[in-house]
Structure 1
Amino acid sequence: MPIRNRFAELHPEITAWRRDFHENPELLYDTHRTSGIVAEKLKGFGCDEVVEGLGRTGVVGLIHGKGGSGGKVIALRADMDALPILEATGADHASKTPGKMHACGHDGHTAMLLGAAQYLAETRNFEGTVAVVFQPAEEGGAGAEEMVQDGLIDRFGISEIYGMHNSPMVPFGEFAIRSGPFYAACDSFAINVRGKGGHAARPNNTVDTTLVASAIVMALQSIVSRNADPQQPLVVSVTSFRTESESFNVIPEHVRLQGTVRSFDQDLRDVALQRVKDIAQTTAQAYGGIAEVTMDEIPYPVMDNHARETDHCVAAADTVSGKVNAQAPRVTGGEDFAYMLQACPGAYIQLGVKTEGGRNAGLHHPEYDFNDEVIPLGCSYWVTLAEQRLAG
């Protein structure tokens, strides 16, 4: 792999940054420590401008090429936030904050983009400007949308924007991408089931919310099997079933269900969300109960890669590793980089970290840890993409 020699030299230092971020995870927009470190390092690298507080706690660094300011501006984006998960890696650099951990690799994404920023500021072997974008609140807070609304694209005149995510499902050193819809639209729902509680020995005097909620869970599975075109991917998952009682002899008055819908087609998305409401309400009614359905306030749209920019990513990845799957399977996970791609041409690529015989815990798993060995490759990809897109 033609990894830049400079990143072999910087590898221990970038790894130390990554592990420091891992030890000190921050959630959603509360990335004040991480953002502060990012801004401080960008200034130390000699970035021409560092803007803090964009999209609440986002950071943007501008690096002008050898011709100075002016010309095309491309952006490279990394996410900074962690997840509300209790870590189980047992690593020396494990989270110092119980209940918070970097279980998706955003610590690695931030460190790799910082490494790339240092190299680009040192060499400036390009024309135009590179904007390095560090975003908070990818994990459910729509930080990408917040940064766009705060002027990210227009303020800096960005004409192309690119993202990258590590993948424990892709072999180490390989890249995966596809043009068009790549990551699914992500919606979540909550169903509050109300009935009549009472003694479990006299269910005839109750409206059994546990029975009602169970019937709703089963009925929701018909949406995929009977309302969706078999050629269109769709996921409907109920992920939480909670009652107000833990007693063996009490039928609860109230049960709360939570779940998610993932889709790639807007018409099917609309149908699925409406069916969740209809099925929950009519099923509850059939059993004598009531179901109140609410949808999330921040649904993520489909992340749709632009064709030309996807080709640019493929070219850079091929230069760096020679192993690129340009027809990667679609991902039913959500990604708020979708908001940036709605506002500006760009593309998003996966970087494989799966190793033979390795732990390879999946994203959002309590045993997941970013693979530090991929850092030089990820940094080299960012630099290669920037230099190719801003060649003189």
Structure 2
Amino acid sequence: MIHLKRHPAVRVVLDEFTGWKPPKGDDKLPRSRARLLHLFGDQERLRRIVAASNGALPDRAITTMIAHTRSQFETTTEKANKGVDAARLVALDGRSLDAGTPMENAHTIDAEDVPVLFDLVRRGALPEAKLTLYDHIVIDEAQLRAPMELAAIGDALAPHGTVTLAGDHRQATDESAWFDGWAAARAELRRSRWEETTLAVTYRSVPAISDLGRAITTGNATLPDEPPADPAVWASTCGSALAQVATMCWHLDALMTRDPWRQIAVIARTPEHARRLHMELARGLDPVLVLDGDFRFEPGLIVTTAAAVSGLEFDCVVIPDLTPAFYPVQTELARSLYVAATRARDWLWLLTPETWSPLVAR
């Protein structure tokens, strides 16, 4: 659903809403919501969007989107029972009555809808509102912004305003952003002149770590022998999953005893993988599981995912389970592994309980 709403193919049907009037029965809806209903709730328009995506969006997204959109235009339980004493409409947990039910999306709007509405304003399909304009805007991690989101940011620039577009194409790990390179990103912001600067030296990781990270994205990564000539990158082959956990517990306990000030991140591939690693490491250490972005940046050991650490840094990073089955040769996994590895400032430890993934094969 998010993939569809953020895809630039949505634009192929937006001109139809210029001069458009909602059918009878929907004319009492606010103008913006009426257009969202007939954009993301219309099967024929969704078919054309999926067709324009050239295979990027699956046909099943149409059914999912229609069901979600219709649920957003349902009446909330509180409103449907507005004649009932308000005290009787308060849930024991303090949440809305629809929370956690099939009705939880009733009378809502998605964050992904907002750039679409700005695009409709740009086409004259919605009235323009006077909003604050800015002389300069800085967009960090720009590779994670979808085309219509960048275009909406361009709307917020003053006529002679400037923009700084910063990011790393190797960290384009959010597939729903549909990042298509820096030239396409610049075009969305609609500025006439650009000056491009490519950083030659990474500011975060020591050379051995940054070199390995770049090699992962180009398919040329080779792991050092154990012990390595440069201690910044270690690669340990363990005999089994149990041996891998025991090795991590033993050495990380020794490291934290020696350097209690260190921030150490064990970075998993998925949330499920992170939960398993956290459970295993908790048998010998005191790790903290962070899946919701609530990083405290305090000394100690955390377990998290590559998707959660983009833009962050840690003293040490540990990446376990680098097996062929768990990390096969896929572009998105190479990017994810690059992000995970380059979060380390001065020590990166890679482990596998069997043979190495071809992404980092010796």
Q: For this structure pair, what is the TM-score category when the shorter chain's length is used for normalisation?
A: under 0.3
Q: RCO greater where, 1 or 2, for CA within 8 Å and sep 6 or more?
A: 1
Instruction: Decide which structure has the larger Cα Rg and report it.
Output: 2
- Normalized per residue, the structure richer in strand is 1
